[in-house]
Structure 1
């Protein structure tokens, strides 16, 4: 019997889990809530991941107690070695796999997009982070604790900046921008001020502002100077991360893969990609940027397959299967049993 493996990419807004076997069959792909141990605790996060794994087994027509040989978990908001150890301990306690590995989610992008397993990876989804691995094995990352550690970027930051610019345009503190007209309709309101008041009152969750990011990108693509400035700010931050990591690992003079992943980088944002490419050509001319062409969960699956001893042919076959398959619908919450999780999907 072939071994079962699980690859998990846990982001801020969603978690993808793929169940496959070492013969190259993609058995199921399920999607749950994001991994937020910094706000919900690692125990709850691990329990949700374990429930998601049981649901994946049920989706594949297998008993939820079916043993999984290897589980590779690449999780957002697990940014420090101590957090990785805590996550590993909790997942091991729950028996998610016979062998379990935990890394930050940026490394899933690197595993998926860098053929030799080293280089720089940037994840810009709801939030932003980056990490790098030297060909000799050394690594570098950021503390990534938000504003307090100087972090800015990702879809939520773009959306908040767009909202701020739109309000300032209305009260006289900033230049005119079409963001005033483009943003409020997303929430069915007539002004950005109404959106701001609803967020302040708790009627609109702050996390829901993430949905405004595509409107900021579209307004920038339409020629709006203020929106374009926000998009270019994101590009500048990504370039700053990449060049800092290359400098820390002394790779500025080495041709180095730079893999760009996450929702704001993999969604055909031509303006953003062109700005990043132009800046890197000046500041790190030997950097080799590329946009990831598969969902990041493919990198987590590759790690699990490598550990399980799967052949290169199997790894390639499953990468192609992930690339070709449409991502599943997201579960708002993952229940304690696969049956309840299935009901959540139907609802």
Structure 2
């Protein structure tokens, strides 16, 4: 069954952006109007299994469809965290298709939502995106629909960085600064101070005994950047390593797609990059200028579901005005 709204006379689409910590679902009219929106928890197939994760996602989809007054749409565009390998995308496509909420389904890693949000709607759809949030990942689109991507499943696939990793690095270096195994660093005082504790031994004990929940470790990332901005050598070295990893991923993807010599966007997003911490942002821009001088870095802060919705409009052949309406809804200032 098709859905129309605000003058649209073609089936609407479902846009899904499912990250590790939250999921956004929107029903979008063919004219680019957002007819309903629902937010829920994270999407974690490695933790709960693919079938259970999709069942949770389906409940959000059903809620969004109910708000929009329909049970089915023409196309579902799902950009999903933890869809890191082609075999995972295929399995998730099968599970979502079996739910019967749309005529067609496309599944992509959530990095492609960020990339699409940063690309011009009139084309060409070529460029690279690096997400640095809880983890780190990169994807790229080249001429003819060619793609470049990484498994991005942790250290076994060569990854370094993201908020979780940065918090662990900050703790490691702070512990060694405190006990003398490493160089002195203000991190040894500032990390425990964030939790109202007097020393690193107290913080180590609190984390080990779970008096400070492990989930709160991400709170240390802004502390790391603040200490780096004050000139602390240890903190700055950690941030410099993160900048290096971001630029390495981007340049490798550009090289794979033969785009190093083309003026294409390098889209930067995720909580760590979207915050524009000066020490990190300036290092990334400088390294990109050195290694990929024609790349055009840009930070996207619009909700990633915008990218999933734009991909849905690409599939349904929407008019240019639909893209403008959709972008205005999610990001009135542009990108």
TM-score, normalised relative to structure 1: 0.86
Q: Which residue number corresponds to residue 97 of structure 1?
A: 102
Q: Distance in 1 between matches of 2:274 and 2:217?
A: 19
Aligned residue for 1:102, secondary structure, equals: strand
Q: Distance in 1 between matches of 2:189 and 2:40?
A: 33
Residue 236 (structure 2) aligned to one of 228, 231, 238: 228
Q: Which residue number corresponds to residue 273 of structure 1?
A: 281
Tell me, yes or no, if structure 1 residue 155 matches structure 2 residue 163: yes
Residue 327 (structure 2) aligned to one of 302, 313, 319: 319
Aligned residue for 2:62, secondary structure, equals: helix
Aligned residue for 1:126, secondary structure, equals: coil
CA contact (8 A) 1:12 1:127 kept: no
CA contact (8 A) 1:110 1:117 kept: no
Q: Which residue number corresponds to residue 121 of structure 1?
A: 129
Aligned residue for 1:193, secondary structure, equals: helix
State how 1:248-259 maps to structure 2 within 5 Å. Answer: 248-259=256-267
Deviation at 1:220, TM superposition (A): 1.5
Deviation at 1:188, TM superposition (A): 4.4
CA contact (8 A) 2:71 2:101 kept: no
Cα distance, 1:258–1:95 mapped onto 2, change above 3 Å? same
CA contact (8 A) 1:156 1:207 kept: no
Cα distance, 1:17–1:194 mapped onto 2, change above 3 Å? farther
Tell me, yes or no, if structure 1 residue 84 matches structure 2 residue 89: yes
Deviation at 1:308, TM superposition (A): 2.4
1:30-65 deviation line (CA, Å, top 9, x unaligned)? 32222221222111111111111123345x3x45x6
Residue 286 (structure 1) aligned to one of 265, 283, 294: 294
Deviation at 1:23, TM superposition (A): 2.7
Deviation at 1:225, TM superposition (A): 2.1
CA contact (8 A) 1:29 1:56 kept: yes
Deviation at 1:249, TM superposition (A): 2.1
Deviation at 1:251, TM superposition (A): 2.0
Q: Distance in 1 between matches of 2:293 and 2:140?
A: 17
1:184-238 deviation line (CA, Å, top 9, x unaligned)? 3444444343333343345545443122212211222232222222111111000
CA contact (8 A) 2:178 2:200 kept: no
1:258-280 deviation line (CA, Å, top 9, x unaligned)? 11111111112222111011111
In structure 2, list runs of 5 or more residues that go unmatched. Answer: none
Q: Distance in 2 between matches of 1:173 and 1:242?
A: 34
Cα distance, 1:178–1:57 mapped onto 2, change above 3 Å? farther
